[in-house]
């Protein structure tokens, strides 16, 4: 009985397509795709056969990345704090390619990193951070669902963070990313009944320009090299291994592919076990005396 299942129905659920075709025929929109993890995810999707619309507010950079990725990539400006622009990006995919299979809500902001106490929390900054990170994710889910539900097919991925799992020094950012995880859990059940999957990815610290800028605000006297070592070594539990943008892109590729057809409402934490240990090993040059 076991052999019959293994050689028949059991294996039928897994894709046998070459890795270069894991997203063959799929159409994706990725927000915040002009640099960092978003850019690498767009490249990974194109390498795997998808047609990708990159969106960002960095127009020159976004156009350059799309040109670099070739004819299966294009760029559109999208400020994710503006719901109409999110809706327009979704509609562009449908108008240009006839469908939308994947929406990756990746764009976001760090917000103000330094905070003396909760009593000094800047609620204007909090509102901006929530709008760019949490509200935009909900708007993306809403408008992707609008075109995916009638087809009873689709995948929505939202970038959260380990900061939304553990909390850290930036309350507005942590709260916004926890809200992203909450939105995924709140909406995955309803959309799953219509064949649309909603999941989150929670990356840990990566030494992208975005990540280093935030740390530089916290540790203004540290050099860029010291900040990079803090991210790559002090925030790692993997014995010398370094988390790279490619790791996050491959996680997104998995969730977007047919290999994850029964994965819904999940927060895929990519942190090398950091949220288990909850330790930061600060290199000596950065450690305060």
Helix (H, G, I), strand (E, B) or coil at 289: coil
Query: Burial of 117 by CB count in 10 Å (0-12 exposed, 13-18 middle, 19+ buried)?
Result: exposed
Rounded to whole angstroms, the Cα distance separating 271 from 164 reads 13
Residues shown for the chain: 289
String of DSSP letters for 165-181: HH--S-HHHHHHHHHHH
CB 114 within 8 A of CB 173: no
Identify the active-site residue in 75, 173, 254, 262: 173
Query: How far, in Å, are 7, 11, 77, 94, 169 from residue 3 at the CA level?
Result: 6, 11, 53, 44, 53
Let me know if 254 is a catalytic residue.
no
Residue with tokens 């059991």: 10
CB 197 within 8 A of CB 156: yes
Residues 6+ apart with CB under 8 A from 2: none
Residues that are catalytic = 173
């Amino acid at each position: 009985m076991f052999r019959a299942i293994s050689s028949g129905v059991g294996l039928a659920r897994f894709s046998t397509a070459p890795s270069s075709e894991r997203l063959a025929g799929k159409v994706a929109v990725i927000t915040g795709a002009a640099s960092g993890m978003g850019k690498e995810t767009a490249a990974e999707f194109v390498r795997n056969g998808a047609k990708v619309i990159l969106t960002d507010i960095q127009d020159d950079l976004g156009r350059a990345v799309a040109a670099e990725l070739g004819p299966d990539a294009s760029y559109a400006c999208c400020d994710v704090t503006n719901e109409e622009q999110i809706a327009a990006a979704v509609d562009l995919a449908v108008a240009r390619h006839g469908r939308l299979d994947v929406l990756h809500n990746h764009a976001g902001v760090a917000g103000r990193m330094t905070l003396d106490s909760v009593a000094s929390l800047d609620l204007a900054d909090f509102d901006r951070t929530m709008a760019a990170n949490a509200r935009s994710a909900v708007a993306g889910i809403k408008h992707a669902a609008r075109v995916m539900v009638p087809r009873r097919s689709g995948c929505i991925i939202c970038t959260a963070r380990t900061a939304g799992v553990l909390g850290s020094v930036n309350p507005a950012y942590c709260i916004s990313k926890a809200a992203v995880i909450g939105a995924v859990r709140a909406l995955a059940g309803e959309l799953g009944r219509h064949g649309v999957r909603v999941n989150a990815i929670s990356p840990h610290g990566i030494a992208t320009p975005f990540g280093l800028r935030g740390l530089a605000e916290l540790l203004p006297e540290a050099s860029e090299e010291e900040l990079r070592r803090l991210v790559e070594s002090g925030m790692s539990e993997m014995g010398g291994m370094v988390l790279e943008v490619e790791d996050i892109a491959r996680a997104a590729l998995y969730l977007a592919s047919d290999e994850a057809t029964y994965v819904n409402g999940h927060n895929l934490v990519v942190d090398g076990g950091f949220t288990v240990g909850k330790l930061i090993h600060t290199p000596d040059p950065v450690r305060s005396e």
